[in-house]
Chain A
Amino acid sequence: MSLGHEAIYLVPALRILNYFITYITQFMTMEKFMLIIREDLKRIGALTDEERFSNMPEQMEWIKSIAESGNYVTGEPLEIRGRYVSKNEVLSDGPFIEAKEGIAGYDMIMAENIDQAVAIAQMCPLVMKGVAVIEVRPVSMLDTLS
């Protein structure tokens, strides 16, 4: 079959290309952003993990759709506990536990520019429902000699 013949030619070529370090145009123009998700920590602190993470099909759909378009990198929710460290002291509960807009999680995304990153963040179901606000921050990069 002609297909088999084509494959003989193609597969080794792919293997070689595997070692061929090239940049990807798509990423050349895209920038990285952190979406910092801020929620009422007192409210979600009172929920069990199960309550907090179950029934999130819309959140799932949102993440899936930005993953499909190649914009999603990673993301994690944070636990509602932690330490707060400064030069002179370590506060076990930190002021953030009671915060109305405390950091509840983050997502890393790639976007064409900050407007697109904002447009993506606006579609987050938590934002649309009004239970979270998202801070959109470009990840800092140095301009170096190349």
Chain B
Amino acid sequence: MASIEQAVDKLYKDHFGKMVGVLLYASRDIDPETAEDLVQDSFSAALTDWKSNGIPLNPAGWIYKVCRNKALNKIKKEKRTEGLNENTFQESVEIRFSESALDDQQLKLLFACAHPDLSPKVQVVITLKYVVNLKVDAIAGVLGMTVDGVDKLLLRARQKIRDEKILLEEPPPAALRPRLPIVHKIIYLIFNEGYKSFRGTEIIREELCEEALLLNKALMDAHLGNKHTAALHALMLFNSARFKSRFGLSGELLNLEEQDRSLWDKALIQLGNDFLHTSKGEEITSFHLEASIAFLHCRAHSFADTDWTTITQLYARLLKEHPNPFVELNYAIALFYSGQRLKAFQILHALERQPILNQYYLLNAALGKLHHLEGQDDLATQYLKKAHEQTGVAKERELIQKMILEIETGES
């Protein structure tokens, strides 16, 4: 019994979003909500049927068939008078039953999720749901939201996807190109969520980063990408290369200085390099700049060996075009290590006076760290204690606690 449930669970994870997509694509008479209900019903039917009759030879095909019949019945019921061309529908459904990692259908759904009226957060949530096939509780876990919150977002977003019929039915690429910058941003944000140090288990986060890379790769393979796609790919590869070294033996977070650089994945760095070269063109996006910063970190043999001067220039450029106080914090840190300490502290103290930024634990952690390096340990400890209070995340608290201890015992 348990194995049947596991099998259905696995199928659900792999095929739920795809099947919803198939139904949406196959008929303009089905809206996302109905499609989800139909697919859900089909999985329940599978569970019941298989418990008495055993798992069929082609389980996925079985569910697809049931789902298709349910959809046909539903449409027939609603459109009795209009006379539905059943064959056309069946054909189109069957054509779409491809099993590739990311098919055209999913790519179209990805572009549908990049609806400009939706907030980036909602775009990410619906992409995770319909393209990446994550369940609601997994999405909630990985984005630090409640299940209820995710459900509410999905509810609001469905209407927009319903409006996307035209996009879903039109062939790429002409209709899709204008959406490309939003698609890039979605992929970037998914990667970011995976890369964040604290949410979910390490495995889930790594998978999320991989999903982002797969989506981006699929864009390029389908010739829907451009030079910006390559820059984004380079950025994600450079960061992936450093993924494992960010944690110590007992899973604790490590500062960049403490990371074992021999753990960095050289193959990924080399691949990132190739994409960074491909990405060169007339325009420089924030992806190009961020990828270049990540590259300079990857290239440095040690923390001290890092080309901080160029990094500060890249940050300055990034800030000029995309003002952002959080990036300013990184800029100040890079300035400090490049030797421009006075300017670094000026920026940090200006940020500190902003009520919102003042609440940000990383700002206070940085102030603590840099004051410590300046030999002002009392001040350093005050800032670190403030940072410690400001984060509720266990791993981050541990890291800051460790820094406070090191100062108090006079280490490092």
Is there an interface contact between B276 and A10, defined as CB atoms closer than 8 Å?
yes
Q: Mark A106-131, 1 if CB is under 8 A from B, else 0.
A: 00000011011001101100000000
B284 touches A115 (CB 8 A): no
- Per the bound structure, the CA–CA distance linking A97 and B45 in Å amounts to 62
Does B40 belong to the interface (CB within 8 Å)? no
A92 at the interface (CB under 8 A from B): no
Tell whether, in the assembled complex, residue A7 and residue B299 are in contact, meaning their CB atoms are under 8 Å apart.
Answer: yes
Query: Given the complex, which residues of B lie within 8 Å of A49, measured CB to CB?
Result: 355
Segment at the A interface, from B52-60, B211-219, B356-364: B356-364
User: Contact between A25 and B181 (Cβ–Cβ < 8 Å)?
Assistant: yes
Within 8 Å by CB of B321, from A2, A24, A67, lies A24
Main secondary structure of the interface of A (DSSP, over half): helix
Is the C-beta of A68 less than 8 angstroms from some C-beta in chain B? Answer: yes
List 7 A-B pairs, Cβ < 8 Å.
Answer: A3-B270, A6-B277, A7-B295, A18-B313, A24-B286, A69-B121, A77-B355
**By the criterion CB–CB under 8 Å, are B283 and A24 in contact?**
yes
Interface of chain A residues 1 through 52 with chain B (CB within 8 A): 2-4, 6-7, 10-11, 13-15, 17-18, 20, 22-27, 29, 49, 52
Grouping DSSP codes into helix (H, G, I), strand (E, B) and loop, the B interface class, with mixed when no group exceeds half, is: helix
**Cα–Cα, bound, A18→B312 (Å):** 12
| A115 shortest CB reach to chain B, Å | 4
A3 in contact with B299 given A13-B280, A69-B120, A119-B119 (CB within 8 Å) = yes
Given A53-B359, A112-B182, A116-B117, A25 and B283 contact (CB-CB distance below 8 Å): yes
Question: Is B29's beta carbon under 8 Å from chain A?
Answer: no
Q: Which residues of B contact A88 (CB under 8 A)?
A: none
Q: A119, B118: Cβ atoms under 8 Å? A: yes
For residues 115 through 140 of chain B, which have their beta carbon under 8 Å from a beta carbon of chain A? 116-122
Give every chain A residue within 8 A of B122 (Cβ-Cβ): 119
B189 within 8 A of A: yes
Contacts A112-B182, A116-B117 given; does A73 touch B356 at CB 8 Å: no
Residues on A with beta carbons closer than 8 Å to the beta carbon of B270: 2-3
Q: Please name all residues of chain A whose beta carbon is closer than 8 Å to the beta carbon of B358 when the two chains form the complex.
A: 53
Number of A-B residue pairs, CB cutoff 8 Å, is 127
Among B64-72, B322-330, B395-403, the stretch that binds chain A is B322-330
B307 interfacial contact with A, CB 8 Å: yes
A81 is an interface residue with CB less than 8 A from chain B: no
**Is the beta-carbon distance between B120 and A115 smaller than 8 angstroms?**
no
Is the pair B356, A63 in contact by a Cβ cutoff of 8 Å? yes
Give bound CA distance, A18 to B292, whole Å.
12
Q: At the interface, yes or no: A100 with Cβ under 8 Å from chain B?
A: no
B356 touches A75 (CB 8 A): yes
Determine the distance from Cα of A56 to Cα of B120 in the docked complex, in whole angstroms: 22
Residues of B contacting A67 in the complex (Cβ-Cβ under 8 angstroms): 324-327
* Residue contact A115 to B117, C-beta cutoff 8 Å: yes
Q: A6-B273, A15-B310, A119-B117 are in contact. List 13 more A-B contacts (CB 8 A).
A: A3-B273, A4-B299, A10-B276, A25-B228, A26-B181, A49-B355, A60-B356, A65-B120, A72-B325, A76-B355, A77-B355, A115-B117, A123-B119
Cross-chain contact B121 with A29 (CB below 8 angstroms): no
- A69 vs B122: C-alpha distance when bound (angstroms): 12
B185 on the A face (CB < 8 A): yes
Cα A115 to Cα B157 in complex, Å, equals 12
